[in-house]
Amino acid sequence: MNHENHDNSGALTPMAPSRPAGNVLGDLARNLAAGLGSLLLRVRAPGAVSAGVLAWVVLEVAGLLTSVGFEAARTGSDGRIDPGALPGQLFHLPWLLLCAWLVTRRQHRSDALMQAVVVLAALWIWIDVLWNLVALLPAAFWERLGDNAQWLWWAPLAWGIVASTVTLCRLQGATGFRRAGVLSAVLLVLVLPQLAVGPQSPLWLAAEPRQDPAEAARWQQARSESVIYRQPSLLTEALARLEPGQPGKTDLFLLAVAGHGAQDVFLREVEKVERLFAERFGTGGRSVVLANNPGTVLTRPLATVSALERSLQIIAQRMDDDEDVLFVFLTSHGAENHLFDLSLWPWELEQLTPQRLAGLLNAAGIRNRVILVSACYSGGFVLPLAGPDTLVMAAARADRSSHGCSHEADWTFFGRAFFDEALRETTSFTDAFERARTAVATREAAEGLEPSEPQIAVGETIRARLADLAAGWQTSPGSSPAQAASAADAETSRPLCDGEPAQQTCTEPANRR
């Protein structure tokens, strides 16, 4: 058993006889216990280490194995150790030794140096354990923390600096200005170099997921040169099939865009909306679908800004400016800076902004517009697109995420609530929006998700066009006269809503009583 004593400077010094070199595991347990005690600022813990070069080596090996274990827990046990990451993982060794030497150099004793080295190595193993435990916290927990997340993330490092300084001061009996010197050594020599080089590559490499052969073939097709030659004709053929509106009747046109190519949910949404609108609103000959998906690159036009521009130009030629209405449905991922994601690996595509979309619509001369943007932060599209002739709907606030965009899903949360549920019960787009907003809020609350708070802006002039549409659907399949009459009444009596980036405000129209 080791005994401790205080020298004349007040430092803790080990007084134990030398231990057998073969007692490696016992020394490891003893040193880890001393490291934990030092982390908890226990007074006698630093002097309880079993010092020596072998003890240090064993501690470093234990630290590496601990890191590998946590990496495997995060990424999966199916993987391998990457020897190439070992130099980065051992980058701290010379700095730890230099820090210990600077603190103990006045004593001119190798045992004092190794004692400081071993206790620091043991202490920082526990700091790494804390950091890894923090990293294992679920994503929902970090989302709830919001801006406070950074404080939790950096807390283990801050405590490591405090514990290292206190431990070294106790070992050396440092007082006064010497404590400031110990703190400087810990900060400038032990911590700063590692912060400067940043995170190191993990030793554990997770195995690459095995790709389904059919999925691999889809992506091979997406990057084939056939896409270059096939796409122009696909767009031309799709636009050539567009039928003009019927004179004297308000007709609905559909332009549906699936932006993000790596998740099939967006393709499924636009295809389902295409069928729904053809059956319920008679857009069978007046719809265009642009989709980024590896499985459709040789059968459907890609969703690019250029294809969107050309589609709007041809749709405008088929529409009657005064009578007809265009429904634009955009579904994809969205960014905090309100970029709508248009992407398909390996092609680099221009991203769509609210201002760019507004410019394309204006340049095409399309007046009567219904626009639904289903994406995170899509509320940022509302104000740039709003106007007297426009109904704009967004699946989320400008500063909120929407939900449900998993690869396996058939619909996003808002897409299902608006199209697959509400529009099967009503032919009023504004009424469908209100129903969808309620349904989405209920589902988000049930699943503990942050409310997306969908947004809407209804132009005064578009109301008359939407009422004309509803009246025209009185005799269409799938819509009873009572439903259509109710929808027409809903369009003319609903409050005018102006979407804001983070909220919406509504005022009553002048003719409402």
pLDDT digits (tens, 9 = 90+) for 136-181: 888 888 878 887 888 888 999 999 999 999 999 998 888 888 899 9
Tokens 């429904």 map to which residue?
Answer: 327
pLDDT of residue 314: 95
Residue 301 predicted with pLDDT over 90: yes
Query: What pLDDT score does 491 carry?
Result: 53
Condensed to tens digits (0 to 9), the pLDDT of residues 33-44 reads 999 999 999 998
Instruction: Tell me the average pLDDT across 75-98.
Output: 90
pLDDT score recorded for residue 487: 47
Polymer length of the chain: 513
Q: How large is the average pLDDT for residues 63-87? A: 89
Of the pLDDT bands very low, low, confident and very high (cuts 50, 70, 90), residue 404 is confident
Taking only the tens place, the pLDDT of each residue in 325-368 is 999 999 999 888 999 999 988 888 889 999 999 999 999 999 99
372 — phi, psi (to 5°)? Answer: -125, 120
Strands 204-206 and 252-258: unpaired
CB-count burial class (<10 Å; 0-12, 13-18, 19+) for 417: buried
Mention every residue, 6+ apart, whose C-beta is less than 8 A from residue 443.
Answer: 413, 417
Question: What burial letters (b/e) apply to 171-193, b meaning 16+ CB within 10 Å?
Answer: bbebeeebeebbbebbeebbbee
Dist CA 136 CA 507 (whole Å): 48
- Written as six digits, the tokens of 208 are 């690459």
Q: 330 — phi, psi (to 5°)?
A: -115, 125
Which tops the pLDDT comparison, 281 or 474?
A: 281
* Structural domains for the chain: 4-206 (no CATH), 251-502 (3.40.50.1460)
Other C-beta atoms lying within 10 Å of the C-beta of residue 341: 21
Torsion (CA) 132, 138, 139, 140 in degrees, nearest 10: -140
Among 234-238, 251-255, 360-364, 407-411, whose mean pLDDT is lowest?
407-411
Asked if 477 contacts 465 with a C-beta cutoff of 8 angstroms, the reply is: no
